[in-house]
A and B are shown apart, each in its own frame.
Chain A
Amino acid sequence: MAVFSVLAAVIIILLFAMPVGGICTYIERKVSADMQERIGPNRVGPLGLLQFFADGIKMFLKEDTAPKNADLPIYNLAPILVMAGSLGAFALIPFAKYVIGADLDIGVFYIMALGSLISLGILLGAWSSDNKWSLLGGMRVAAQIISYEIPLGIAVLSIVLVSGTLSMSGIVEHQAWPNGTAAGGHFWNVFHNPFLFINFFIYFISALAECNRTPFDLPEAESELVSGFNTEFSGMRFGLYALAEFADVIMFSCVATAIFLGGWHLPFVNIGELNIGLRLGGHDLTPLIQTLIMIGVFLAKVSVLVFVVMWIRWTLPRLRVDQLMALCWKYLIPIGFVNLVGCAVWFWVFKGASMLQVTSRLLGVH
């Protein structure tokens, strides 16, 4: 079993997180090019598809310089912490019913704890590189990430309140289509009640800020801080930061899919109860095909979210620091608190029924 766990880690991190993080840089460039009526990368491979591979090789072969006055132990530790934080959380992502690296009972909590490793890594990297731009960027990123962790936590808290469990697979199980059987749940959490619907957007905005994506990319605002916290990082070290940023976006999209958008569940149909009836050499292929469909549904939802993140990046301008703080402390946190109380009241009044179940009960449909 120990071998299995290491194998799962290798498969998910090396074959999923890192290549997808690389492909995301290609897709982002293509999306931005489309939005600005440019062509985008089209030289390496068909349609420029191997661009991310070429970028990786380029970074791999670049000279790795560290500034003379840098605090080298901390400077070397920083990218490791960032990678450990953003890739380690993939252990808890439920891709399908039994396809999950580690089904911890404290799932959501663990992901949030690992998420704060990223802010620590970025702050340490900024502090140790002995550069004024880095230091200012690092201070901004620390203030930004820790501020937005509170609305993020509150939004996740409302999910925990509805689901009654912290385990990721447990949260997904509750979101099945309510078809009257034992496997039925209360449909996607985002449609459970109006308060959770708003909390989904609070989660999404906070996740954007946690990943330092535009409109919250103040820590690396290239027009004011050169490159922010990674100014002094070159070659593969910079590549690790860039990869970690995309891995972070994918990770937060995966979590949003799992806890708000129903994970692998689809409306009107319960994939776990589908009967495919395909057999191969006496073995029933139904569980395998069900799992593949589940993974496909999950990844489709994740890619839609990642696309929205890119779309936002090339649409909205950057916020000012005071607007950033005001948005967090004056809007997201109070609204989040009110939603949490509202969510609890809804759950209590309707005995845990979702909007869908309440409506169908009112209409007399089952």
Chain B
Amino acid sequence: MLQELGNALSFVILAAILPPLILFISKFFRPSYPHSGKLTTYECGETPKGSAYVQFNNHFYLVAIVFLVFDVEVALLFPVMTLFRDAVLKGGPEAAQVFLLSFGFLFILFVGLIYEWKKGDIDWIKVATNRKTALESGELKSRKIPAEQRTV
């Protein structure tokens, strides 16, 4: 087993030393004439304005947290699922145990997903998708976005 892990590690190490090696070798062949224009940030030909670390949608953070919960869940279920085949083929109560354990766990998280869905956190654009049609149908009173809907 340790031998197999060593094999896998040798692949990762080889793949990791390959890019620096290629870049190092190409150093002897490629030109290098840096000047200030070449080294500026690319902003479609304009002089770059301000820092590149602009504010972005808070939603990315929320997605990352939800992902963390689900991914840990999937990772936890992997070892449990390997038991299922043997338990079923052997017969007896273990299959029911594995089934209830894993899918009870899955169900609780699925309720969480439904809560998230109902709360609108999965929708990337929360409310203001159809503002124009909503305005025309009279559903929306004014053109101004109410404070609680300004999430985009």
Given A83, A153, A334, which contacts B74 in the complex, CB threshold below 8 Å? A153
Q: Which residues from chain B sit less than 8 Å from chain A, CB to CB?
A: 1, 3-8, 10-12, 14-16, 18-20, 22-23, 26, 29-34, 36, 38-44, 52-54, 56-57, 59-60, 63-64, 67, 70-71, 74-75, 77-78, 81-86, 88-89, 95, 99, 103, 106, 110, 113, 117, 122-125, 129
14 contacts between A and B (CB under 8 A): A64-B32, A67-B42, A80-B20, A83-B15, A87-B15, A87-B18, A102-B5, A103-B4, A150-B70, A160-B78, A226-B42, A322-B123, A325-B122, A329-B117
Encode contact with B along A182-221: 1 for CB under 8 Å, 0 otherwise.
Answer: 0000000000000000000000000000000000000000
Expressed in whole angstroms, the minimum distance between the Cβ of B118 and any Cβ of chain A is 12
Known: A1-B3, A166-B78, A322-B124. A149 touches B41 (CB 8 A): no
Taking a contact as CB atoms under 8 Å apart, the answer to whether A92 and B8 are in contact is yes
CA distance A236 to B21 in the complex (A): 11
Taking a contact as CB atoms under 8 Å apart, the answer to whether A147 and B67 are in contact is yes
Q: Is A237 an interface residue (CB 8 A)?
A: yes
For the complex of A and B, the 7 pairs showing the least CB-CB separation, nearest first, are A164-B85, A102-B7, A87-B15, A322-B124, A91-B11, A88-B12, A153-B74
Q: Is A257 an interface residue (CB 8 A)?
A: no
Q: Which residues from chain A sit less than 8 Å from chain B, CB to CB?
A: 1-2, 5-6, 8-10, 12-13, 60-69, 76, 79-81, 83-84, 86-88, 90-92, 101-105, 108-110, 114, 129-136, 139, 142-143, 146-147, 149-150, 153-154, 157, 160-166, 226, 231-232, 235-237, 240, 321-322, 324-326, 329-330, 333-334, 337, 340-341, 344, 347-348, 351-352
Taking a contact as CB atoms under 8 Å apart, the answer to whether B8 and A110 are in contact is yes
Taking a contact as CB atoms under 8 Å apart, the answer to whether A87 and B11 are in contact is yes
Taking a contact as CB atoms under 8 Å apart, the answer to whether B63 and A157 are in contact is no
Cβ–Cβ < 8 Å partners of B52 in chain A: 69, 129-132, 134-135
Known: A132-B54, A347-B88. A101 touches B70 (CB 8 A): no
Given A5, A69, A79, A163, which contacts B41 in the complex, CB threshold below 8 Å? A69
CA distance A10 to B15 in the complex (A): 9
CA distance A67 to B35 in the complex (A): 11
Known: A64-B26, A150-B67, A164-B85. A240 touches B19 (CB 8 A): yes
Given A62, A161, A329, which contacts B85 in the complex, CB threshold below 8 Å? A161
Taking a contact as CB atoms under 8 Å apart, the answer to whether A351 and B31 are in contact is no
Taking a contact as CB atoms under 8 Å apart, the answer to whether B23 and A6 are in contact is no
Taking a contact as CB atoms under 8 Å apart, the answer to whether A231 and B122 are in contact is no
Expressed in whole angstroms, the minimum distance between the Cβ of A161 and any Cβ of chain B is 5
Cβ–Cβ < 8 Å partners of B56 in chain A: 135-136, 139
Taking a contact as CB atoms under 8 Å apart, the answer to whether A352 and B12 are in contact is no
Q: Is the interface of A mostly helix, strand, loop or mixed?
A: helix
Given B5, B23, B43, B113, which contacts A237 in the complex, CB threshold below 8 Å? B23
Closest to A78 in B: B19
Q: Is the interface of B mostly helix, strand, loop or mixed?
A: helix
Expressed in whole angstroms, the minimum distance between the Cβ of A207 and any Cβ of chain B is 15
Given B3, B16, B82, B83, which contacts A84 in the complex, CB threshold below 8 Å? B16
Cβ–Cβ < 8 Å partners of B34 in chain A: 65
Taking a contact as CB atoms under 8 Å apart, the answer to whether B103 and A13 are in contact is no
Given B18, B60, B82, which contacts A166 in the complex, CB threshold below 8 Å? B82
Closest to A320 in B: B124
Cβ–Cβ < 8 Å partners of A84 in chain B: 12, 15-16
Cβ–Cβ < 8 Å partners of A8 in chain B: 7, 10
Taking a contact as CB atoms under 8 Å apart, the answer to whether B26 and A5 are in contact is no
Known: A91-B11, A352-B88. A65 touches B113 (CB 8 A): no
Q: Which of A76, A103, A114, A132 has most chain B Cβ within 10 Å?
A: A132
Taking a contact as CB atoms under 8 Å apart, the answer to whether A142 and B117 are in contact is no
User: What would 10 more interface pairs be, CB under 8 Å, given A236-B26, A322-B125?
Assistant: A5-B10, A60-B22, A67-B41, A88-B16, A102-B5, A133-B43, A136-B54, A149-B71, A157-B81, A337-B110
CA distance A65 to B84 in the complex (A): 54
Cβ–Cβ < 8 Å partners of B70 in chain A: 150, 333
Cβ–Cβ < 8 Å partners of A114 in chain B: 12
Taking a contact as CB atoms under 8 Å apart, the answer to whether A10 and B14 are in contact is yes
Expressed in whole angstroms, the minimum distance between the Cβ of B10 and any Cβ of chain A is 5
Taking a contact as CB atoms under 8 Å apart, the answer to whether B10 and A326 are in contact is no
Given B15, B31, B60, which contacts A142 in the complex, CB threshold below 8 Å? B60
Cβ–Cβ < 8 Å partners of A12 in chain B: 11
Closest to B69 in A: A150
CA distance A90 to B7 in the complex (A): 11
Cβ–Cβ < 8 Å partners of B60 in chain A: 139, 142-143
